[in-house]
C-alpha cells in the first residue's frame, strides 16, 4: 500500500515542494525514514506513531517506509509530522487518497495528537499556486498567517483526530479568510516616545528627517549624553507608513525566523532592530547550521541601529559592507547557496574618542594617537556607505529646558510622508521604493544636474578627493532634500547641504 502527500520546506527565504511518500508492506515491523533528513525530521516517526495511537487508531505491525523527496534537498524542522501522518494513514486506507490531491500539508504533532504551529508558513502559502494546489492545511495557530495570501483555501486544524475527520468528510471546517486592506486601514501605531521630547540638536533633527525621507544611512557622532541614542530611537515615529508589498516582504522574513505574532499575521510597521555590540557575525548577517536570517535581514525595509559603533568587533562591522551595497545577503554552504533581502536604513551612533569628548581639549584626555586608533575601528569603505554624518554638540543648560516649540513626530512625519509619496510616484514603474535604492543607471535618470551644478560638484569632487561611491550617495541625498522641498529638479542648495552632511566625517577621519 502506497500513498503520496504534498508538503514543503524552507530553503533560505523561499519554499520548496516536498513529496512525502509512504509505503506499508508485510514484513518485520519497523518504521524507516529516508530522504536527506535532519535530526528533528528523523524523530518525527516517534511523534507520528504516538499521535496516531493517542488519536484512537491502532497501528498494524507492518513494515513502514517513508521517503521525503527530492532526496538531494535537506529537510529540517518539525513541519513534516502532519504530512507524514497523512501519508501513512492514506497508505493504510484510513483516509481517502483522493481527498489529499491538490492539498499542501504542514504541521508539527505533539504526542497526544495536537497540531502545533510551525515556522515559514507564509512563504509556503505564497508558493501554493506554483505547486498546483488549491488547498493548504496548516495548524490552526498558523491559519491567519497563511490566509494573508488570497486565492487559496486555507484550512486550520487543531488535532490529528480533527484532521482525519475532515479528510474523511465527517466534519466541515470553514476556510480561514482575512482582509489585508481592512487590517491596514484599522491599524494605528501608537508610540510612547516623540521628537517633541528632544530639545536642541536642530542640525541632527534635520539630518534624521532627510535620512528618514529617503531611507538613507546616517552616522551620529557626539559626546556622551548629547542625545544620539534618544534621537535614534525616535526615528520609527517619523518613518513613512509601510506599504502592503513591503509588509509582505518583512512578514515573510519574520515567519521564517519565528518572530511573527500569529494574532496579527502582518507586520504593519517598519522594523527597528537594536543589537548589542557583542553580537556575532552570524547573528548579524545570518547563517548558522539552520541558515536563519540575521539582524540585517530582520531589519529589512526598516532600521538597523548600531549604538556605540566602534565597540563592535571589526570583522562584524566589515561584514555589513556587502549587504549595504547589494541590499541582500548571500550565504554559501557546501550543499546550497541562500539569499536573504537586507534593504535597511543603517543608523549608527558613536563617541568621537574613548573618553567621548574629543575635540574638546578641556575635557578630552586622549592623545592624538589614541583618538585615531579609536576612530580607525571604523574603516573607510564602511564610512563611504554612510550617506549622512552629523555632529552633535554638548548640550547647554538652557537648551535642556522644556520647550513648547519643539516639533512633534507627527509634524515631521507629515513632511517625510509627502516626500515619500513623490518617490512612490516617481518609481511606480520600477522595483524600488526610496531614493537610497537608486542604482547607477537610475541615478543618471532621476538625478539630472544642470551644467552649473555639474561644474560646482566637479570642483568639490577634486578638492575634497571623494570617491565615486560617495559622489553617488551625495546625489541620492540631494534628490531626497529636493523631494522634501517639493522641488522637481536638484538645485545647488540641495547639493551643498548633501555635501555638508556627507563630508563632515573628514573632520575626524584623517585618511
**Confidence at 226, pLDDT banded by 50, 70, 90:** confident
Is residue 261 a contact partner of residue 294, using CB atoms and an 8 Å limit?
no
Give the highest mean pLDDT range of 32-41, 348-357, 414-423.
414-423
Instruction: Give residue-wise pLDDT tens across range 233-287.
Output: 999 999 988 888 888 999 999 999 888 877 778 888 899 999 999 999 999 998 7
**When comparing pLDDT for 82 and 400, which is higher?**
82
- Which of 62, 44, 245 is CA-nearest to residue 160? 44
- In order of their start, the domains of the chain are 2-167 (3.30.230.10), 195-507 (3.40.50.300)
Residues 6+ apart with CB under 8 A from 420: 213, 240, 434
pLDDT given for residue 113 in this prediction: 95
Give CA–CA dist 84/9, Å, rounded: 13
Lowest mean pLDDT among 330-334, 399-403, 404-408: 399-403
pLDDT greater than 80 at residue 396: no
The b/e string for 72-88 (b: 16+ C-beta within 10 A; e otherwise) is ebbbbbbbbbbbbbbbb
**When comparing pLDDT for 294 and 263, which is higher?**
294
**Confidence at 322, pLDDT banded by 50, 70, 90:** very high
pLDDT given for residue 129 in this prediction: 92
Residues 6+ apart with CB under 8 A from 455: none
SS3 content of the chain, % helix, strand, coil (to 5): 40, 20, 40
> Residues of the chain with pLDDT > 70: what percent?
96
Instruction: Give residue-wise pLDDT tens across range 131-165.
Output: 999 999 999 999 999 999 988 999 999 999 999 99
> CA 155 → CA 18, 84, 103, 389, 419, distances in Å?
19, 18, 10, 51, 42
> Residues of the chain with pLDDT > 90: what percent?
61
Is residue 389 a contact partner of residue 219, using CB atoms and an 8 Å limit?
yes
Is residue 453 a contact partner of residue 491, using CB atoms and an 8 Å limit?
yes
Give CA–CA dist 288/272, Å, rounded: 22
Bridge pairing between strands 303-306 and 30-34: unpaired
pLDDT given for residue 403 in this prediction: 64
For residue 120, is it left (φ>0), alpha (ψ between -120 and 50) or beta? left
Is residue 219 a contact partner of residue 505, using CB atoms and an 8 Å limit?
yes
Instruction: Give residue-wise pLDDT tens across range 84-112.
Output: 999 999 999 999 899 999 999 999 999 99
**Confidence at 14, pLDDT banded by 50, 70, 90:** confident
Residue with cell 525621507: 213
The rounded radius of gyration (Å) of the Cα atoms in the chain is: 28
Q: What is the pTM of this model?
A: 0.89
Is residue 220 a contact partner of residue 390, using CB atoms and an 8 Å limit?
yes
Residues 6+ apart with CB under 8 A from 405: none
Residues 6+ apart with CB under 8 A from 493: none
pLDDT given for residue 244 in this prediction: 85
CB atoms within 10 A of CB 169: 10
Is residue 95 a contact partner of residue 163, using CB atoms and an 8 Å limit?
no
pLDDT greater than 70 at residue 228: yes
pLDDT given for residue 120 in this prediction: 92
How would you class 224 by CB atoms within 10 Å of its CB: exposed for 0-12, middle for 13-18, buried for 19 or more?
exposed
pLDDT given for residue 400 in this prediction: 65
Lowest mean pLDDT among 41-55, 59-73, 183-197, 273-287: 183-197
HEC profile for 427-459?
Answer: CCCCCCCCHHHCCHHHHHHHCCCCHHHHHHHHH
Give the highest mean pLDDT range of 296-305, 331-340, 458-467.
296-305
Helices (H), 356-511: 368-375, 380-384, 397-400, 409-426, 440-446, 451-464, 468-484, 492-503
3-state secondary structure of 348: strand
- Which of 68, 140, 80, 145 is CA-nearest to residue 106? 80
pLDDT given for residue 312 in this prediction: 96
**Confidence at 402, pLDDT banded by 50, 70, 90:** low
Q: What is the mean pLDDT of the chain?
A: 90
- Which of 417, 33, 41 is CA-nearest to residue 241? 417
Amino acid at each position: 500500500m502506497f500513498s503520496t502527500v504534498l508538503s514543503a520546506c524552507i530553503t533560505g527565504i523561499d519554499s520548496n515542494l516536498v513529496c512525502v511518500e509512504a509505503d506499508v508492506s508485510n514484513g518485520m515491523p519497523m518504521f524507516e525514514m529516508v530522504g536527506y533528513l535532519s535530526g528533528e525530521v528523523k524523530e518525527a516517526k516517534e511523534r507520528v506513531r504516538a499521535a496516531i495511537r493517542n488519536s484512537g487508531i491502532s497501528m498494524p505491525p507492518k513494515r513502514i517506509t517513508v521517503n521525503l523527496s527530492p532526496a538531494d534537498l535537506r529537510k529540517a524542522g518539525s513541519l513534516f509530522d502532519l504530512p507524514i501522518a497523512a501519508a501513512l494513514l492514506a497508505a493504510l486506507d484510513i483516509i481517502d487518497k483522493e481527498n489529499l490531491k491538490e492539498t499542501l500539508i504542514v504541521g508539527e504533532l505533539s504526542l497526544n495528537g495536537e497540531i502545533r504551529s510551525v515556522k515559514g508558513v507564509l512563504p509556503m502559502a505564497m508558493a501554493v499556486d506554483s505547486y498546483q494546489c488549491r488547498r493548504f492545511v496548516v495548524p490552526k495557530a498558523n491559519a491567519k498567517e497563511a490566509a494573508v495570501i488570497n486565492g487559496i483555501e486555507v484550512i486550520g486544524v487543531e488535532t490529528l483526530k480533527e484532521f482525519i475527520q475532515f479528510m474523511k468528510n465527517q466534519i466541515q471546517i470553514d476556510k480561514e479568510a482575512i482582509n489585508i486592506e481592512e487590517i491596514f486601514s484599522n491599524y494605528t501605531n501608537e508610540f510612547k516616545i516623540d521628537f517633541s521630547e528632544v530639545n536642541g540638536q536642530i542640525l541632527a533633527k534635520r539630518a534624521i528627517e532627510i535620512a528618514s525621507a529617503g531611507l538613507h544611512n546616517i552616522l551620529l557622532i557626539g559626546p556622551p549624553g548629547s542625545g544620539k541614542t534618544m534621537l535614534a530611537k525616535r526615528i520609527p515615529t517619523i518613518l513613512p507608513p509601510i506599504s502592503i508589498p513591503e509588509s509582505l516582504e518583512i512578514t515573510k522574513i519574520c515567519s521564517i525566523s519565528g518572530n511573527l505574532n500569529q494574532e496579527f499575521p502582518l507586520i504593519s510597521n517598519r522594523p527597528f532592530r537594536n543589537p548589542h555590540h557583542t553580537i556575532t557575525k552570524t547573528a548579524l548577517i545570518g547563517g548558522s547550521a539552520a541558515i536563519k536570517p540575521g539582524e540585517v535581514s530582520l531589519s529589512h525595509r526598516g532600521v538597523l541601529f548600531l549604538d556605540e559603533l566602534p565597540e563592535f568587533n571589526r570583522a562584524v562591522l566589515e561584514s555589513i559592507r556587502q549587504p549595504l551595497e547589494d541590499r541582500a545577503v548571500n550565504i554559501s554552504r557546501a550543499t546550497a547557496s541562500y539569499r536573504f533581502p537586507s534593504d535597511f536604513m543603517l543608523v549608527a551612533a558613536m563617541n568621537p574618542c574613548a573618553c567621548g569628548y574629543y575635540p574638546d581639549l578641556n575635557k578630552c584626555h586622549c592623545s592624538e594617537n589614541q583618538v585615531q586608533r579609536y576612530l580607525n575601528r571604523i574603516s573607510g569603505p564602511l564610512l563611504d556607505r554612510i550617506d549622512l554624518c552629523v555632529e552633535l554638540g554638548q548640550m547647554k543648560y538652557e537648551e535642556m529646558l522644556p520647550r513648547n516649540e519643539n516639533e512633534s513626530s507627527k509634524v515631521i512625519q507629515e513632511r517625510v510622508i509627502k516626500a515619500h509619496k513623490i518617490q512612490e510616484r516617481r518609481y511606480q514603474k520600477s522595483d524600488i521604493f526610496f531614493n537610497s535604492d537608486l542604482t547607477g543607471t537610475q541615478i543618471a535618470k532621476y538625478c539630472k544636474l544642470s551644467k552649473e551644478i555639474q561644474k560646482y560638484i566637479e570642483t568639490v569632487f577634486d578638492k575634497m578627493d571623494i570617491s565615486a561611491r560617495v559622489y553617488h550617495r551625495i546625489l541620492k541625498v540631494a534628490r531626497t532634500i529636493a523631494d522634501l522641498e517639493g522641488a522637481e529638479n536638484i538645485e545647488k542648495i540641495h547639493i551643498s547641504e548633501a555635501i555638508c552632511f556627507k563630508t563632515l566625517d573628514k573632520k575626524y577621519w584623517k585618511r
